[in-house]
Chains A and B, each alone.
Chain A
Amino acid sequence: MPKKYHIATKVTLPRFHPVGKYAVVEFREDCAGSCEECVKKKCVYEIFKNDYEYLKAMEEPEYLYTCQNCFRCVQECTKGIFSRVINPEYRLLGDDYWQPDIIQQTWYQAHTGRITVSGAGYRGPFVGEGFDSMWTDMSEIVRPTRDGIHGREYINTTIELSRRPLRLEFGEDMSLVSDVPPILEVPIPVVFQRPAFGMLGQNVLLAMVKAAHKLGTLILLQPEDYIDTLTPYSDSLLPCLTRDNYQDYTDLIQRSRIVELAYEPGIESEFETLLSIKPDLFIAVGLRLNSDAASVGLRLAHTDVDTLHFYADGHGNELDTERPRFLKDMIREVHLKLVENSLRPKINLLFSGGIAMAEHMAKAIVCGADGVAIDNPLLIALECRLCPQCLEGKPCPVKLGEIDSEWGAQRIMNLMGAWRNQLLEVLGAMGIREVRRLRGEVGRSLWFEDLERECFSPIFGERKVAGIR
């Protein structure tokens, strides 16, 4: 049996105190003074004790990240001088898609390598837009669950980025006659992608590349990103080239296992030239995820392409339209088009744009993707706050450009370790031991519209409100 895949996580402290959700408000004018019952001394999480340390060093107190919102200081102070507010800085993190809690959870995972765990049930909306309008299924009594997390059963998260023959031919002596093309595997259904913005200095890119290398996955880079320090990691680099420029980068192609060509009509005519540069090269094509995506994907599936990579916008929306559909519906469209034409098993589909959490990865695969490409989570793992400061030419609040690449690589590995464990949770609950079996398995998912129709329509009739909420 091949060696079991494992991601080595290690606690990797943030360099800056993360933005906390809560802020303690203290009306000190009402303080009793030398109160022996002072709640600051009793804090279970010792946040005020840490605060003293900051004060000793004459630094700004920072107890916001560590406050766990237990309310004991508010409720036990003899004079009732404590109150609390939501940290205004927390509200400003990210945007309406990359919400503060996503950013904070990503920080936590990059810091600890652990999945986020909390008590007291789910606390969010009943249903939401996009991926939040579907649930994944679980097994009960029959089709037993699989225990991948605790290592009792191995759950494989490997995907392939190489195309497959649609049929195998055997000779009369039952020997294999067909040519079996080489296989390109990545051990997690995630590849990395150069973020569209951010302080992408050498150290940052090197951190991402090192993480991709250690994880055994790939990172999509523009040829101008290539610097000498990346050369040892060529196996993990996936250059994104165009019809116009790829012939300028033959050395880069020769060093790579796979390249991505930006789609344009007739791009398949370049494959032969590409393969003449490196015969065992795997070829991906990058396409805009728009209304033509499914039909273009189908056309390309007839060629020697290995993987199609569809780009949605940063919020997971369809491109080139005023009324965009979300990634999950677009993935279904592309996937089903290939299924209907019996070509789905031949090639692989990657999707990027708006993949923000581990659950998005799992749900994208349920919808029909083989894997996803992520960008912003890599930056957030390095403490990025998704603030627009760098775009405005202002200094980065977390000095992203100054990171140590080893530190950064470990933070990204931690994040991926946590994501993979979450994928194992979802797969384990469904009783699936192989992520490739999850692809397009909508039968193991529950969709809001279906549940409303099945469970509520017989009772309440026709739904009159369009949309989710």
Chain B
Amino acid sequence: MRQIQLPEPVRTPSRFRNAIGKYVIKRNSRCISCGLCAELCPYGVHIRYDKYSKPLRPRDYKCIGFKCKENAFFCVERCPQQALTLRLNPILETMGDYRWTAEMLIGHWEMAETGDIPVADLEYSVGSSGGGFDKLRFKPPDPKDYLDIGDKYVDTSIELNKRGDGRPGKTISIPCYGAGMSFGSTALPVMLGRARAAQRLNILSCTGEGGYPEELVPYADHVITQVATGLFGVREETILRAPVVEFKYAQGAKPGLGGHLLGDKVTPEVAAIRETVVGSALFSPFPFHSVYSVEDHKKHVDWAKEVNPRALIAVKVSTPSDSDMVAVGSYYAGAHIIHFDGSYGGTGAAPDIAKKNIAMPIEYAIPKVHRFLTEEGVRDEICLMASGGIRTAMDVAKVIALGADGAIIGTSELVALECIRCGKCESGRGCARGIATTDPELGHMVVEEWAEQRVVNMYLAWRKQWCELLRQYGMRSIRELVGRTDLLVHLDYLGEDERLKFEPSSLSLAVL
């Protein structure tokens, strides 16, 4: 039986003094510092060091909330002075949005800290967008199908080269890899942390369109070189060292539009890598001006294949109405991976009108493309990857069941690094939390080792969720899940009685 070797989770707490949780525990002045709560709480909410008599502020982000009432160790009940109060954290209404709810953010922070599934009652799998993934549910499995095997015997790997064209195979250990985020749009430690995590997890990360920093070279076997319309930093050596070369025709955050790096972000380091002028805003053209047909596209693919005979070729496109034709065109052009980036995703700054309105959500594109490639008889020869609004382990599983081989993850990796989705990636000095910035001060808020472990932890927690799902359906490999739409239901396609059997969509507290 095949065993997957994966790294171990290591507890990696928040960078910030006050981590945010779903619940707030307050200790009032009646506390006599008896230490009972610290003795009782198995989750480490209450801290008391022996030599200190003063009580410390509770680490309430670890609190499991009101469900703890049924436990004998429920601190609020047991406190002899009734000095503790528990309530829902009111700050939640100011966090998150319809797609990434506050609970989803907190749940992913906890996964990134522990490498495990959150213990608090957090809805971290389903958002409240009211459609797409948030209306899809897996059917209840037949208990008879349950496979009683350990996680290490569940195969979550996928193969990226299905063409059998003599190029090397490339198996990644989980059905995800990291999305392209360029140097310039994210801080170097973030980029390096993600690449290091990719190496440890045996997956891939991606340069994005901003060139290939030398610091990434040690992880080159796990770094995709992206060739985008601006061709920034694209050189023979960056193509030669890549296991996968990705042609980015479009991106979900701004489908059909070119990238734009503000002049402030074009620091000397960024300019050097992109081979441009310091302080000068950088625009990527909307299209590749050398591509006006599938034949032109094939020339691109052939060029990269000629330069690097070992590389696989990925084609990143967004989700136009003719996504199916684009997919089959890319297949005939010789691509190994066709990557659809749905319209609701994206990490960096993009015009709001584009994010909301241009191109279709990924939930529609994947079944359409999967069906078309199947009917064309070429589905088994191309790796179909999905991205753009895929937030959680269950979103990944759902998109695989809809027909993808795997998913490409951007935002969730940043959330693991404590992105709070304030959306101000581009303003002023860039990300105030040190993730999407090249500001000399802010850019060093993240340490690459910390970033690496947080990303590793999140994916390990995701893997646990996939393993459990697969076991329930009696599957040993996530490859068996591809295209299994029969395992999914959509709440809007069920009668009222049937719908009640499933968890309803959560209501949003978000205020737009």
Please list the residues of chain A having a beta carbon within 8 angstroms of any beta carbon in chain B: 21-22, 44-45, 68-72, 74-80, 83-86, 90-91, 99-101, 105, 115-127, 135-142, 144-147, 149-150, 152, 357-359, 362-363, 422, 425-426, 428-431, 443-444, 446, 451, 454-456, 458-465, 469
Complex contacts, B294 vs chain A, CB 8 Å? 141-142
Please state if A426 and B423 are interface contacts (CB–CB under 8 Å). no
A429, closest chain B residue (CB): B256
Whether B267 is near chain A, meaning CB under 8 Å from some CB there, is no
- With a cutoff of 8 Å between Cβ atoms, the chain A residues found around residue B283 in the complex are 150
Smallest CB separation, A223 vs chain B (Å): 37
On whether the beta carbons of B344 and A122 are closer than 8 Å, the reply is: yes
A359 to B432, CA, bound (A): 30
Cβ-defined contact, A120 with B285, below 8 A: no
With known contacts A138-B256, A140-B249, A147-B285, A125–B131 Cβ distance under 8 A? yes
B89 smallest CB distance to A (angstroms): 9
What 10 pairs across the A-B complex have the smallest Cβ distances? A126-B131, A429-B256, A119-B425, A138-B256, A123-B97, A70-B432, A118-B423, A75-B16, A460-B493, A145-B286
Q: How far is the CB of A404 from chain B (nearest CB, A)?
A: 29
- Closest A-chain residue to B128, C-beta based? A125
| Option from A71, A85, A149, A362 in Cβ contact (under 8 Å) with B93 | A85
When distances are taken between beta carbons in the complex, the residues of chain A under 8 Å from B19 are 75
* Contacting residue for A119 out of B93, B297, B317, B436, CB 8 A: B436
In the complex, besides A119-B424, A140-B250, 5 extra interface pairs with C-beta distance below 8 angstroms are A125-B98, A141-B293, A144-B291, A454-B368, A459-B488
Contact in complex: B423, A120 (CB < 8 Å): yes
Which A residues are CB-close (under 8 A) to B347? 119-121
Give the docked Cα–Cα distance between A105 and B419 (Å): 23
Known: A45-B432, A76-B16, A118-B350. A140 touches B422 (CB 8 A): no
- Contact status of A446 and B360, CB under 8 A, knowing A75-B19, A145-B257: yes
- The answer to whether A75 and B442 have CB atoms under 8 Å apart is no
> Within the complex, which residue of B249, B361, B426 is in contact with A126, where a contact is CB–CB below 8 Å?
B361
Cβ–Cβ contact A456 & B490, under 8 A: yes
CA gap between A419 and B389 in the complex, in Å = 26
A21-B511, A100-B512, A359-B356 as given contacts; A123 in contact with B423, CB under 8 Å: yes
In-complex Cβ contact of B57 among A80, A99, A429 (8 A): A80
Check if B240 is an interface residue, CB within 8 A of chain A: no
**In the complex, which residue of chain B has the Cβ closest to the Cβ of A455?**
B364
CB pair A141–B326 under 8 Å, yes or no, is yes
Please provide the chain B residues from 467 to 484 with a CB less than 8 Å away from any CB of chain A in the complex.
Answer: none
Known A-B contacts A122-B389, A126-B130; the reply to A140 vs B320 at CB < 8 A is yes
In the complex the two chains form, is B348's CB within 8 Å of A119's CB? yes
CB pair B367–A138 under 8 Å, yes or no, is no
Complex Cα distance, B199 from A359, in Å, reads: 42
Tell me what chain B mostly uses at the interface: helix, strand, loop, or mixed: loop
- Say yes or no: A135 contacts B349, CB within 8 Å: no
Cβ of B129 and Cβ of A147 under 8 Å apart?
A: no
Which chain A residues border B354 with CB–CB below 8 Å? 425-426, 429
Q: Which residues of A contact B129 (CB under 8 A)?
A: 124-126
What total count of A-B pairs have CB within 8 Å? 294
A116, A135, A363: which has the most chain B beta carbons within 10 Å? A135
Which among B95, B98, B293, B351 has the greatest number of chain A C-beta atoms within 10 A?
B351
Find A123's partner among B322, B357, B421 (CB 8 Å cutoff). B421
Nearest-neighbor residue (CB-CB) of A421 within chain B? B351
Does A464 contact B493, Cβ atoms closer than 8 Å? yes
How close is A252's CB to chain B, nearest CB, in angstroms? 38
Instruction: Find chain B residues with CB under 8 A from A146 CB.
Output: 286
Q: Which of B287, B428, B494 contacts A464 (CB 8 A)?
A: B494
Q: List 30 A-B contacts (CB under 8 A).
A: A44-B432, A71-B420, A72-B432, A74-B18, A85-B91, A86-B93, A100-B511, A116-B351, A116-B353, A119-B346, A119-B347, A121-B347, A125-B98, A136-B358, A137-B321, A140-B249, A141-B297, A141-B317, A145-B250, A147-B258, A147-B285, A425-B358, A429-B255, A429-B256, A429-B359, A451-B360, A458-B367, A462-B493, A464-B496, A465-B493
The answer to whether B364 and A124 have CB atoms under 8 Å apart is: no
On whether the beta carbons of B292 and A144 are closer than 8 Å, the reply is yes
In the complex, which of the residues B94, B344, B436 contacts A22, with contact meaning CB atoms closer than 8 Å?
B94
Which residues of chain A are near B171, meaning CB under 8 Å?
none
Residue from B90, B318, B348, B427 within 8 A of A85 (CB atoms): B90
How far is B130's CA from A40's CA once the two chains are assembled, in angstroms? 38
Which of the residues A70, A147, A443, A463 comes within 8 Å of B433, measured between beta carbons? A70
CA distance A115 to B350 in the complex (A): 10
- Does B90 lie within 8 Å of A83, measured CB to CB? yes
For A358, the chain B residues whose CB sits under 8 A away are 353
* Bound form: Cα–Cα A152–B357 in Å: 23
Evaluate contact between A141 and B493: CB separation under 8 angstroms: no
Cβ of B226 within 8 Å of any chain A Cβ, yes or no, is no
Q: Give Cα A464–Cα B494 distance, bound, in whole angstroms.
A: 6
CA distance in complex: A358, B297 (Å): 33
**A127 CB, min distance to chain B CBs, angstroms:** 5
* B506 located at the interface, meaning its Cβ lies under 8 Å from any Cβ of chain A in the complex: no
Partner of B495, one of A21, A80, A464: A464
Return A24 CB to nearest CB of chain B, in Å. 10
Nearest Cβ distance between residue B353 and chain A, in whole angstroms?
5
Given A119-B349, A138-B320, A422-B353; A80-B18 close (CB under 8 Å): yes
> Which of A77, A116, A454, A460 has the most B CB atoms < 10 Å from its CB?
A460
Distance in angstroms between the alpha carbons of A187 and B163 in the assembled complex = 52
Least CB distance, B211 to chain A, in whole angstroms: 20
Q: Are A137 and B351 in contact (CB under 8 A)?
A: no
The answer to whether A122 touches B256 (Cβ under 8 A) is: no
Within 8 A of A (CB), among B164-181: none
Q: How far is the CB of B265 from chain A (nearest CB, A)?
A: 12
Judging by beta carbons under 8 Å apart, are B358 and A455 in contact? no
B window 421-479: CB within 8 A of A: 421-429, 431-433, 436, 442
Residues in B with CB closer than 8 Å to A456 are 364, 367, 490, 493
A21 to B356, CA, bound (A): 20
B262: nearest chain-A partner, CB-CB = A117
Q: Looking at the assembled complex, report how far the CB atom of B375 sits from the nearest CB atom of chain A, in whole angstroms.
A: 12
- What is the minimal beta-carbon distance from B73 to any residue of chain A, in angstroms? 24
How many angstroms from the CA of A464 to the CA of B497 in the assembled complex? 11
- Which residues of B are found within 8 Å of A84, using beta-carbon distances? 91, 94
Known A85-B94, A118-B350, A126-B132; judge A70-B422 contact (CB<8 A): yes
Contact A463 B492 (CB under 8 A): yes
Per the 8 Å Cβ criterion, residues 281-312 of B in contact with A are 283, 285-289, 291-294, 296-297
Query: B326 and A140: CB pair below 8 A?
Result: yes
- Contacts A120-B346, A121-B355, A123-B100 given; indicate if A68 touches B432 (C-beta within 8 A): yes
Q: Is B345 an interface residue (CB 8 A)?
A: yes
Docked pose: A449 CA to B355 CA in angstroms:
20
